[in-house]
Amino acid sequence: MTNPLDSVFAALADPTRRAILAMLLEDDMAVTDVAEPFTMSLAAISKHLGVLADAGLVTRERRGRVIWCRLEPDALRAASVWMQGFGQFDPVDLDAFERFLKSELDATIE
């Protein structure tokens, strides 16, 4: 996808990726820690992280032998601005968004 907004919405469309974002709200995490609560392979989680990184929602950084992931909340700004353009959406309440992502994470893990 060439449009960054398309990439953000496509990344947010998947419940696993939303759950990953919720986990990263707390702190940076190693890829293996991100994968731990899910019943899928490390390779599958890495693909999800790649989609999130391509959308600019997370960054990955190698620290020694470990790859760490960090949430980039500013990447949601363009999506928020776009939705506000319709006049029916309030500015994104990041606290509410955090609660939503946590509920998604809880639902995905169960």
Domain ranges of the chain: 4-105
- pLDDT score recorded for residue 89: 58
State how far the alpha carbon of 106 is from the alpha carbons of 47, 90, 101, in Å. 21, 26, 9
Give the largest CA-CA distance in the chain: 47
Domain 4-105's class? mainly alpha
Looking at residue 12, its amino acid is L
Lowest-pLDDT range, 20-24, 56-60, 63-67, 105-109? 105-109
- pLDDT score recorded for residue 106: 80
User: Which residues have C-beta within 8 Å of that of residue 20, sequence separation ≥ 6?
Assistant: 34, 45, 48, 49, 52, 58, 69
| pLDDT tier at 41, thresholds 50, 70, 90 | very high
Q: Return the residue matching tokens 């707390």.
A: 26
Interval 10-33 mean pLDDT: 94
- pLDDT score recorded for residue 44: 96
- pLDDT score recorded for residue 87: 66
pLDDT digits (tens, 9 = 90+) for 45-102: 999 999 999 999 999 999 999 999 999 988 888 888 877 777 665 666 777 877 888 8
